Amino acid sequence: MKKEKSVSMKVMIFLTTIFTILLVISCKKGEESTDYSKIATEGEMQAELTSPPMVPKPIGGRAATKLKVSMEIKEQEGTMADGVKYTYWTFGGSVPGSFIRTRVGDEVEFHLKNHPDNKLPHNIDLHAVTGPGGGATSSLVAPGHEKVFSFKVINPGLYVYHCATAPVGMHIANGMYGLILVEPEGGLPPVDKEYYIMQGDFYTQGEYGAKGLQSFDMNKAIKETPDYVVFNGKVGSLTNGNELTAKVGETVRLFVGNGGPNLVSSFHVIGEIFDNVHVEGGNLVNKNVQTTLIPAGGSSIVDFKVETAGNFIIVDHSIFRAFNKGALGILKVEGEENKKIYSGTIQEGIYLPEGGTIQKMPVSSTAKEVVPNRTLAEKIKTGKDIFGTTCFACHQSEGQGIPNAFPPLAKSDYLNTDSKRAIKTILNGLSGEITVNGKKFNNVMPSQNLSDDEIANVLTYIYSSWGNNKTEITPQMVKTLR
């Protein structure tokens, strides 16, 4: 008898579970069945467009409206990295293109203009558009002309737009992509800060860092071997004075896209965990995420609360792209440190499981370096860029170092008393205990695979910054000590 009751109880629990699941699915289908195409619009307004990393103000509770978007295509020369120029093709004069913010039910009247000085026809494919080509079939526009088309936004989410003129890959690879946000009714939950970041991979005739005006390399693009993988169109777009900012206790939302044209992004903020991730820019929300995948032509919305002060490094966690190809930025959080959240170093020492020698890759002695003749100002500028991609993770953006781990470069007696020692440190690396500004540090710095010119520039920048003694280092000084 007891056995029969047990079986009966299990059957009832099973049937109840099935019913509950079906009810939830039915409710969700009901929620998703809203036909936003039938929402009537009220009045009209000009869309606010912004260049990265800024975004237009939130939609909030405004009604659906006729939203006029006016965007100009510009082919223009810009800076890819220090001394490296590139001719970008842009929507609105920036890479990525202008951020467009809408809400479900809006009727968008899109004015696409092709500047008369441009050389090529272009169009636009917006992934938020339901219709042939995402608008591309209606928007092919020659230089000096304008096309107008309209569409209803009927799916909430964060969507990529890009040029779809043949060869499509070339137009995207030259920077023709951006994001359009379609907010749900009532808007997104409020946060304190919002920013716009978009990753792209670039293919140049010269290798990474090759100076001068670089042209697009179709063979590299087809082989998917980019020289640069960057945020917002160039190396250093979110470092060296361009950092994103927030204060302790604030919530931050990042609208993140991947223009590609080829690579998938492994988006990560070092030292932060995403509280909420809108997976691929849609309705599905994942929580407590360390790294989120963003496909080429895809997006994600991430938000998190910043709990303690410091510099939080933004990367593509396909990590060589970050530290060797440019996909790196900084979120600078100001305020009080929270020792309950992060204590900092409470014990220090050396752990060298591979032995005490400093390892380095062999460097070819056959290559002959061509050293440019730079002014002091040019050295400092070049050195700042090298510092931003090579040194700042350990020594921080203002040369303050990391307490009990990496020594400060600002007002450093260790540097200022012996410039030859500073050069040798970069050339050969350094291990063991040293004293800097009266404090002991015991860590390992590997040798840096930099040219004589690069070492001279970065040290000149360091000596010219943060209260140091303004020593100018020359490539010849480095060569003598190599």
Binding residues for Cu cation, as ranges, are: 122, 127, 162-163, 171, 176, 317
As a whole number of angstroms, the distance between CA 10 and CA 15 comes to: 9
What are 444's strand-pairing partners?
431
CA-nearest of 263, 258, 261 to 280 is 258
Task: Decide if 145 contacts 67 (C-beta within 8 A).
Answer: no
Distance of CA 255 to the CA centre of its chain: 10
DSSP per-residue letters across 121-176: -B--EETT--SGGGGHHHH-B-TT-EEEEEEE--S-EEEEEE--PSSHHHHHHTT-
Angstrom distance (rounded) from CA 174 to CA 200: 9
Please state, in angstroms and rounded to a whole number, the distance separating the CA atoms of residues 209 and 298.
Answer: 28
Tell me the CA distances in angstroms from 255 to 55, 232, 234, one per residue in order: 9, 12, 18
Annotated binding site: 122, 127, 162-163, 171, 176, 317
CA distance 451 to 7: 77
Rounded-to-integer distance, Cα 272 and Cα 45, Å:
38
Nearest Cα neighbor of 234 from 258, 198, 182, 267 is 198
| Helix ranges restricted to H, 315-436 | 320-325, 376-390, 392-395, 413-416, 419-428
Phi, psi dihedrals of residue 418, rounded to the nearest 5°: -160, 95
Burial 396-406 (b: 16+ CB within 10 A, else e): bbebbbbebeb
